[in-house]
Structure 1
Amino acid sequence: MRQSLYLFILKLRNLLAQKFKQYDAKLPYLITVFIALIIVVLGVNVFIELTDTLESDMLNEWDSKITTYVISHRNPALTKYFMFVTDVGDLYGYLIVMGLFVGISYFIFKRWKYVAQTALVLLLASISNVILKRFIDRARPSIEHLVSVETLSYPSGHAMSAMAFYGFLIYLTTQFKINKWAKIAAITFLAFILLSIGISRIYLGVHFPSDIAGGFIAGFIWVIFCILLFNVIELFRRDPRTH
């Protein structure tokens, strides 16, 4: 990602040099951030398209079919598992996982930057989720809830936060210089937790499948934007021409 961004900024700088005799060295970075914002806007449009179809008969039919299929597999063992997983995707779960990540960052990678970046992505997703829920105002499913809930339904806060948090951790894992098989195992585990959190909300009866899809899309938008932004900032800091 960073190498691709560097090459893009380099090409952009060469293009600006051909068009203008003099220009601010910060301009290529500002243009890159602007393009990243455009990508976010396009992603938001996809999210809005999904939102606009919430009342469609086709989506309601798919929500009903998927929900019926998932809850048809309810049994004591799965219920315990999904209740545990849904707690992992809640506030105290993130505090525990973040604490573990702080320890790993301090003792292994010696970099606090990763912790701050991950916390920021999670914070942005959580705040925007509250705003989106109030704006869209979709009620919860009317089926039996196996856990208590108080907020609105769309998009799923658990799914959105899980995608933002674990999605960004998956990205960081791809960047770490660790054993190949350890990296594959870590990515597989994180992806499994992410998907399990989403499925748990359907299984427990507190979300429609479209709530989960919307949450994953919205969380993924934040992940992509923050990855682009963090890499642009890092390149900007290392570029002697900008200082």
Structure 2
Amino acid sequence: MTGIPASAAGRGPVAKPKTAANARRVSLWNIANILTMVRLLLVPAFVLLMVAEGGHDPAWRSFAWAAFTVAMITDLFDGELARRHDLVTDFGKIADPIADKAIMGAALVCLSALGDLTWWVTAVILVRELGITLMRFWVIKHGVIPASRGGKMKTLTQGVAVGMYVLALTGPLATLRWWVMAVAVVLTVATGLDYVRQAVVLRRAGLAAEAERAREVSEGADR
């Protein structure tokens, strides 16, 4: 991930390409990384709040919802801040996706363990998230699969659905959260299949390009 040059946004002078001589060192303790660290620290706090008083006390569940909501909000801002202000670090590249998966995974497992959400929903979402992460590593040498609009909608819907389940809702809101979670599961599966398609296409294109380069090198050596 890199920052956006001023010229690309139509503002300011043309930015000079970064070199070893003029590259700016980015401090580990920048706002984007701090938000990621906060999200990581919120994971154990969230779990403790979820299981307090047997896990079904409305007050404690409200505190757990607040922790989950703060974590999801930091997820919206840390990556954008890192890209916009050129605050990308190796720590952030590793910790950010871990924090994302950790808070969502903790919420889903807690809800299923407490009997509020069926285990198959948790399994579908977690298997999809882990599978897509591993798949990105599988094709990383051929290119990067960009986050799609559907993927962003999936993340938002998951966050809203899980947040509604964390709260001790009753009546119509309890019914509504079931439908929101159903939409989240559909988006989870649909976007997961689309990412698989993109990964296969990207890998085939990468292998074809490698074969073409090898052929050109072989032909050049024969001349």
Normalised by the length of structure 1, the TM-score is 0.29
Q: Which has the higher contact order (CA 8 A, sep 6+)?
A: 1
Greater Rg over alpha carbons, structure: 2
